[in-house]
Each structure stands twice: as C-alpha cells, then as structure tokens.
Structure 1
C-alpha cells in the first residue's frame, strides 16, 4: 500500500512538473532565468511554512488519539541537536543541488530547442542508476530494460532535429547531472528527517543562491514580476511548494532509480500540457514516444519474484 501511494505521489509530481514547463516558458518572456528561479523558490518556501504548522497540529492530534496519556510523559517535538543538524545539512545540500540544476536548465533552454532540452534533461533516468552503482546500489535487469525503453520513448517524444551539441545542450546535460545528484541526496536524507521541513529549507537556500546573482546581473523590476505573476505563482506554489515536497515524501524508502523513471514522465505531461493549453498537436512519433515511456514505467513497477 505504501509503495502504491508513493508511486501515485510521484506521478502527481511528474504531472505538476510537466505543466510547469508551460509556466517556465511564459515566465521567461517577462523576467530573467535567475529572477524567475529566485521568485518561485522563495514563494515555495513561504508557502510551506503554514503547511508545516498545520501538519504539526495533525500529528499531535493523531498522537493524542493513538497513545494513552501517562504521568510525566508529554508528546513534545524532538529537540535532539543531531536531528536538527541532519535536517539543516540535508536542506542545504538539496538547496544547492536544485539551485544549480534549475539555473542550468533555465539558461540552457534559452540557448537550445525545447525538444532537445527535454530529451537531455531526462537523461537523469540513466545517470541515477549509474551513480547508484558507486553507492553500492545494484539495479535489477528489468530496470535497465525500462531505462532503455524510456530513453527511446523520450527520443521519439522530444527530438525533432539533429543531435549536434551546442553550448545550451551542454548546460542542460549538466542540469541532468545536477538533478540526478538531487534525487540521490533526497534518497539519503528523506528517511532521516522531516521531508516537508527539509523541502522548506532547500527552497530558502535555492532562493538565496539564485536571488543574489539575479540582483547583480539581471536587475529585476517589480513591474516585470507583476506581469509574470501567474507563471511565477504556479512554479512557486505547485511546482516547488507542492511537487518537490511530494517528491521528498514519496521517495522515503523508495528505490531512487524507479523514482527517477516515474519522474521522467514529466516530459510526457509537458507535451500533453502544450497540446491542451497551447494547442500544440501531437505528431504520431510523439504519441509513440508517450507509449514507450508508459510501458517502461509499467515494467519497472512489476513485483520481484522472491526465491523460496
């Protein structure tokens, strides 16, 4: 049941991120990449503060119902300095990784085609299991088959021109590497800390890391931010505040390679969002690519037959 719930949460995350490509494209018409990222990360962090307070209230109520009160024992939040230190380190590492990945992606998209950027970014589904080998996490054979199918599907879905690498392509490739590291960092810290709190910290860190150079290099204007309010709010509240938090919660005790495969569906959802919102029709090869990616996700979710 937990695996099914986590799978559904990761699918929802991929859907939100897929639609966010539309918001990112529209937002770049008004503000620079660093300004857009800084605004959405800060909004995402602020959005999570009342969510944390609300979840704490729910946890206290659940704890009060499930445990009988005893003398001298109260359900107080943990004040272990080790836990707080782990939470801060996890939030800092995630914040640095996501700031680097998102900045590289925004700059890369401005220098290359959207199709090539989508394909190259999705290479994190290959990079994650490769990096996992160095962390002594040996992927199953079916995972490698799913990775190959997903890559083939993403090729038909996203690639529309030559495979030549430009400066923008190189930046997006580095972005895929940074996103892979972000997934592995979450895999390490999410079982050890509160996922929502770590998500809030990572967005504040990422917002600061993007905001300082944005003020120096892009000189953002308030009028430009107001003009881009809709895509910034979507990217901040849903893409950051909701989706990245869902990713952290869902990846708890979940295979990071399988998680990366499910999250790669954001490319499928981005094409569908462009079709529905921007009225961009799907070509037969794009439909075929969607089918291949969905097959890869289904294969990787098949249960493992255990030896007697």
Structure 2
C-alpha cells in the first residue's frame, strides 16, 4: 500500500495547481521505473558481492556509457572552465560515487521496498530545503502530497 501512496504524493507535490499529465510526466515515470529497477538490483547484488566494488563497477559503467553518448551527440569537446570542472568533480564524487557507495553498502540490511520509500522522500526534503533557503512555497496540493508521502513511510514502517 505504501508503494502506491508514495507516487501519488510525488504527483501531488510536482503538480502544484495544474493537474495535467504531460510528456515530461511520462519521462519522469520512466525514470522512476529505472530507479526502482536499480534499487531492486542493488538489493540482489549487494548481498552477493562486495558493495564497494559493486558501486565502483556501477560508476565506471555509467561513466563509460555517458562518455560514448556525449561523444556521439555533443559538439566537439573543449576543455571545461575551472568552475565547471570543480562542479563536475563535486557532483561526481560526492553526489554520485559517495552516495552510491553508501547506498550499496547500507541497502544490504533492508528491503528494496523500504529503500525505495526512503528515496521517494527526496522531493519532500527538496521542497523543505527550497522553502527554508530559497523562499519557495508549496501550496495546499504540494503540502498534501508531502503528507501522503510521509504517510507512506509510516505505513511501511508499521508493517515491519
């Protein structure tokens, strides 16, 4: 039941006052399915293999595939400015490698469903930080969505 509630809450958060399903929503749904498959695969493989080695392989494969796509579709590469290089290194090391390493190491101690529900709270935290640091507002629909997502976490925890 919690797995059904979380996407409903996400939809409410992202819709604001407009309840129209567009092509971007379809891409978001496809992305959510890809993340779900990734979380399930980590649950399976993190118990069979060293989690840090598994994270390194994942980062390496994604980096190689991204480089191939970038070379195929982007204009000729130029040396990035230092600010861009710092941002790429920061995002790659902290936002990807470190987080994926921690996820792969810790997720072996919980279920894929529980991990997915924890990750589904990302928009709730993003909205809270946007409110606190950028002066963003959420509106009634967004607040309802956040409440539904938090409720999904409570339901999941009560069933454990």
Hey, what does 2:146 align to over in structure 1?
A: 290
Structure 2 residue corresponding to 1:218, chosen from 62, 74, 80: 74
Higher gyration radius (CA): 1
Does the residue aligned with 1:285 lie in a helix, a strand or coil? helix
The alpha-carbon distance between structure 1 residues 270 and 234, as it changes in their structure 2 partners (threshold 3 A), is: farther
- Matching of residue 228 in structure 1 with residue 81 in structure 2: no
CA–CA separation in structure 2 for the residues paired with 1:248 and 1:298: 23
What aligned pairs does 1:146-165 form with structure 2 within 5 A after superposition?
Answer: 146-160=2-16, 161-165=18-22
Does the residue aligned with 1:293 lie in a helix, a strand or coil? helix
Listed as ranges, the gaps of 5+ residues in structure 2 are: none
Kept in 1: contact 2:13–2:141 (CA 8 A): yes
CA–CA separation in structure 2 for the residues paired with 1:171 and 1:154: 14
Structure 2 residue corresponding to 1:258, chosen from 114, 119, 123: 114
CA–CA separation in structure 2 for the residues paired with 1:153 and 1:164: 15
Q: CA RMSD in A?
A: 2.2
Structure 2 residue corresponding to 1:267, chosen from 119, 123, 138: 123
Kept in 1: contact 2:3–2:113 (CA 8 A): no
| Per-residue deviation, 1:258 | 1.6
Count of matched residue pairs? 158
CA–CA separation in structure 2 for the residues paired with 1:238 and 1:260: 20
TM-score normalised per structure 1: 0.46
Hey, what does 2:51 align to over in structure 1?
A: 195
- Matching of residue 242 in structure 1 with residue 98 in structure 2: yes
| Per-residue deviation, 1:296 | 1.5
| Per-residue deviation, 1:231 | 4.1
CA–CA separation in structure 2 for the residues paired with 1:174 and 1:289: 20
Hey, what does 1:172 align to over in structure 2?
A: 28
The alpha-carbon distance between structure 1 residues 198 and 298, as it changes in their structure 2 partners (threshold 3 A), is: same
Kept in 1: contact 2:9–2:149 (CA 8 A): yes
TM-score normalised per structure 2: 0.83
CA–CA separation in structure 1 for the residues paired with 2:114 and 2:85: 34
CA–CA separation in structure 2 for the residues paired with 1:164 and 1:157: 13
What does the per-residue CA deviation read over 1:164-212, in whole Å, with 9 as the maximum and x for residues that have no partner?
Answer: 332x433332222221211111111101111111101110110010012
